[in-house]
Each structure stands twice: as structure tokens, then as C-alpha cells.
Amino acid sequence: MILSTSLASAQDSWTSLASDPVPKFSPAGGAINGKLYVSGYSTATFPYVMHLNVYDPALNTWAALTPSSLGRAYADAAVINGKLYVVGGCTNNSDCSFVTNALEVYDPGTNAWSTLAPMPTRRLDPAVGVMNGKLYVVGGNLGALSGYPSITTTEVYDPAANSWTTLAPMPTDRRGAVGAVIDGLFYVVGGAHGNGAAVGTVEVYDPAANSWSSRANMPIFRREAAGGAINDQLYMVGGYTSMTVTTNESYDTGSDAWAERAAALTPRYGAVAAVINSKLYVVDGY
């Protein structure tokens, strides 16, 4: 099921829309030209069988596209210049211990994938954001989702040079966090340590200073929530505490304060979220 919420208004609400025809857990995705692209593996198959599906809000319909040839879970993605960049994750093994540093890009214009320079650090479940046409990747796990450490490593990819640079590390080690860019700053929220303990820390990276600072903690600590930014508000939907939740909270970057918003219709974690026309779309997950 895909959920859409209009959060720009005072009366926020949720609506059920057409479901993803291939349910995916912890997929990667993003919005390109008003459509939602979701890349991931079918939850019904192992080894991982990759699928790429696109949702058109104008028609409330899905279409299948060319999937990546690299089977992986727990990757993350961001959009730069109308293309979907997918990075990190774990490849085809049942315990998710084979972690990749692969970076691929999908071009909707050609319906084709290309392989780019690999990330210096192998990791799964990172947070990503785009600033000034560059892809920022932070945190994640070095191995299986339990028993391996989460990390603070921050790296940036420059598409023009097809190269990576290591930046100042994030203060809090975590994986399964949400990343969002607002007013030229990269916000990283929530997630969990390598032992699975959820965190509510909010940390902000300033690319001009190559430094991090802290903000007010999220009230409900959780990992693998779905999130997105609308204007100066950062929304955190669902996720996992000691259970899967429908919690929806918004963070106001101007006042450094959190507010409770309309709860999602379906509890889930490991979902994809994207903002299209000031609405937050949330799809897939468990």
C-alpha cells in the first residue's frame, strides 16, 4: 500500500493509494519529475530478485521498469539532475553480511542503469542527502543488522568528477536514520546503534564548515522510519521502537521543536518516502 499525506496544511491527513505491485522491504527510491521510483527486491523471493517500479500520482498507477542487475537490500537513494543514485546495502545472502560499496545510477530517459565509482566505505542502511549537486552518504552498518557496528563515516560523491571525498564524521554512530536537506544543511535523524537500540538524536551537517551540530532530540526514538522535508519541516513517519509504529512527528528547523502529526494508517518500518507537490508519499516496508 502507498500512503499520501498533505502535510503543508494545518489539517494533515492520510490517503490510501494504489499498492506497489511488487512489495519490497527496505527499498531505495526517490521522486523524479513528479513520479515516485522504487528499487528493491521482492519480499517473496530469495535470492533477491530486483524490481524497479514507478508510481504516477496523476493516474494512481504503477509501471515496471528495467531493474538493477545488482541484487541488494538496505541500500539508499537520492535524485540528482533527474537521475536516481542508489548506494550501499547488502547483496545476495540470507543474513545480510555481504556489504557493498556499489554506486549505481538509473536514467529514466534511457530506462537503463550505469555503474559509477564505488564508495570508499562499504555500508548498509545509510542516510543520504543531496546538496549542490553532490551525494552525501553518512552512517550505516558494516555488516549484518545485529552484531556489527554502526558507523559515523561521512562521504560525498561528485558526479562531475565521478569521485568520492571523506568528510568530518557524524558525532553519533547509527544506521537506519533518515536524511533530509533543508536550507543547505543536511539533517540526520533517528536510527539505531549496531546493537539495535534506537536513537532519537538529530544532527546537522554544514557543508560550508565541514562540521556537525546537534538539535533537539526526536520525542519517539525509532529506527528505519520514513521521512521527508516539506518547506522548513522535516517529517518522520513510522519506524521501529520495540515494535512497528504509526507515529508521525514533524521537526521545525526554525524553532528547533518537534510536534505530533496525524498518525499513519499502517504501522511499518523500512519504507521509502518521497515528497511530490508538497505531499509525502510512503510505500512498502514491513
- Going residue by residue through the chain, which has 286 residues, state the pLDDT in tens, using 9 for 90 and above: 455 566 555 578 999 999 999 999 899 999 999 999 999 988 766 677 899 999 999 999 999 999 999 989 899 999 999 999 999 999 866 677 789 999 999 999 999 999 999 999 999 999 999 999 999 999 999 986 567 899 999 999 999 999 999 999 999 999 999 999 999 999 999 999 988 899 999 999 999 999 999 999 999 999 999 999 999 999 999 999 999 999 999 999 999 999 999 999 999 999 999 999 999 999 999 8
Residue 67 near residue 39, CB atoms below 8 Å: yes
Q: Based on the number of CB atoms within 10 Å of its own CB, is 60 exposed (0-12), middle (13-18) or buried (19 or more)?
A: exposed
How far is 197 from 73, CA to CA, in rounded Å?
21
The CA–CA distances, whole Å, from 36 to 116, 128, 135, 139, 243 equal 22, 17, 19, 25, 27
Domains in the chain: boundaries = 2-6+18-283
Closest CA to 117 of 59, 167, 156, 66: 156
The edge-to-edge listing of strands for the beta sheet with 2-6 is 13-17, 2-6, 279-283, 272-276
DSSP letter (8 states) at residue 197: -
State residue 47's pLDDT score: 73
Buried-exposed string 174-204: b where 16+ CB fall within 10 A, e elsewhere = bbbbbbbbbeebbbbbbbbbbeeebbbbbbb
CATH tag, 2-6+18-283 = 2.120.10.80
